[in-house]
Amino acid sequence: MNIKERIKELNVPSLFTSFGRPVSTKEDFEALKPDILDLFQREEYGYMPKAPDSVRVEVIDEKKQFFAGKGKNAHYRLYATYEGRELSFPFSAATPNYTGSKIPVFVNIAFDPTPNFRQPTTEIIDRGYAVFTVCYKDCTSDDGDFENGVAKILGMDRSDPHATGKIAMWSWCVSRVIDYIYTLDIFDHDKLAVIGHSRLGKTTLLTAAFDERVKFACVNDSGNSGDALSRGTAGETIADITKRFPYWFCPAYQKYAGNEDSLPFDQHYLLSAVAPRALVIGTAKDDLWADPKNEFLALTLTNDVYKLYGKVGLIHPEEIPEAPFKLQEGSISFHTRLGNHCLSREDWNNYMDFIDKF
């Protein structure tokens, strides 16, 4: 598939023209960014709750000399005050022993409360990284109930077309863990990565677009309403996703079901909002529901934004390569591994290989 030809066929909007404002410098783009984020809040994910008044963290337990004596394993509970009300959620952290050089750190917004095959913790520690793990359902449930967990406090009336969806709420929680990491100076804030798979890959991308403290957005198999173009998808459509998971989004998003061409943007606008920070994208050959080709195409469309910052985004050939492949020479990393929908050890290692190079 020739990339340029396919993009022409899809007739995707360009953020360089669609706002009716000139975008020829990085200052123009920075001035545009709030409008891009506003568009995604109004039309897709709902309004991102504002930052809390305060955050504090309580230690539940800590085990030193863990991971073969190479690190510490700990459990915490984070409390935040939001408009005078308190909310809280648990998280854990695996941290290599501090030896004087700052530690690169992941925040993994995870499916599971206990790290399993989707988070190879000992290997992450062995490679010198810390990993904070937040189980998304510990923040609020993955369903249309807006009365539990953080949703009870952050939630808006769902009759509002722009009401905050669950993805934005999980994303808000990730930013609170980053608030905490920022109080700890053993961590390398220039190597702060957020990682998530699938619906949590969508959450990772949204977090990176909104929170500039995220320096590496490790977006794994995020597909529709994540890193894939919605127009011309060969996999999941907006109709599919809004039928099964309407509560991930704001109610206004429904109007684009079966009507992708009327979207005033496509997902490359959200990817572009992460520039000039690093997009670190993983897909899998057989994950057709996420449409690896449309994920690739979306990413190539961000390159002109990286250029405004004097950076090279994704260095890629004219055709989408045959899987498996890995492109890691620019400020953007993209790989398609063999296999199906999963956040695997190979994905983690590809992400760490890329971050190591910086």
For the annotated catalytic residues, the residue numbers are: 198, 341
Among 236, 266, 287, 295, binds ligand GTR (CB under 6 A): 236
Distance of CA 59 to the CA centre of its chain: 27
Mind giving me the DSSP string for 23-71?
A: --SHHHHHHHHHHHHHHHIIIII-PPPPPPSEEEEEEEEEEEEETTTTE
Cβ atoms of 92 and 132 within 8 Å: the answer is yes
Among 92, 108, 164, 224, binds ligand GTR (CB under 6 A): 224
Q: And the tokens for 253?
A: 């998003």
- Identity of the residue, 78 or 217, whose beta carbon is nearer to ligand GTR in the bound complex: 217
Which strand (E) or helix (H) includes residue 327?
Answer: strand 325-327
Min CB(76)–ligand GTR separation in Å: 25
Judged by CB under 6 A, the number of residues near ligand GTR is 6
Min CB(265)–ligand GTR separation in Å: 18
Q: And the tokens for 221?
A: 């198999």
- Identity of the residue, 49 or 201, whose beta carbon is nearer to ligand GTR in the bound complex: 201
- Identity of the residue, 23 or 241, whose beta carbon is nearer to ligand GTR in the bound complex: 241
Buried/exposed 198-223: b ≥16 CB within 10 Å, e otherwise: bbbbbbbbbbbbbbeebbbbbbbbbb
Min CB(238)–ligand GTR separation in Å: 10
Min CB(115)–ligand GTR separation in Å: 18
Q: And the tokens for 258?
A: 């079966």
Min CB(32)–ligand GTR separation in Å: 28
Alpha carbons 141 and 189: distance in angstroms, whole number? 30
Within 171-200, the residues that bind ligand GTR by CB under 6 A are: 198-199
Q: Does 342 bind ligand GTR (CB under 6 A)?
A: no
E-strand ranges in 208-305 read: 216-220, 278-284
- Identity of the residue, 49 or 223, whose beta carbon is nearer to ligand GTR in the bound complex: 223
- Identity of the residue, 2 or 116, whose beta carbon is nearer to ligand GTR in the bound complex: 116
Among 87, 130, 195, 241, binds ligand GTR (CB under 6 A): 241
**CB neighbours (10 Å) of residue 64?**
11
Task: Spell out, one character per residue from 123 to 162, where the chain touches ligand GTR: x when CB under 6 A holds, - when not.
Answer: ----------------------------------------
Give the residue carrying structure tokens 């409390």: 79
Q: Does 223 bind ligand GTR (CB under 6 A)?
A: yes
User: Binding residues for ligand GTR, per CB under 6 A?
Assistant: 198-199, 223-224, 236, 241
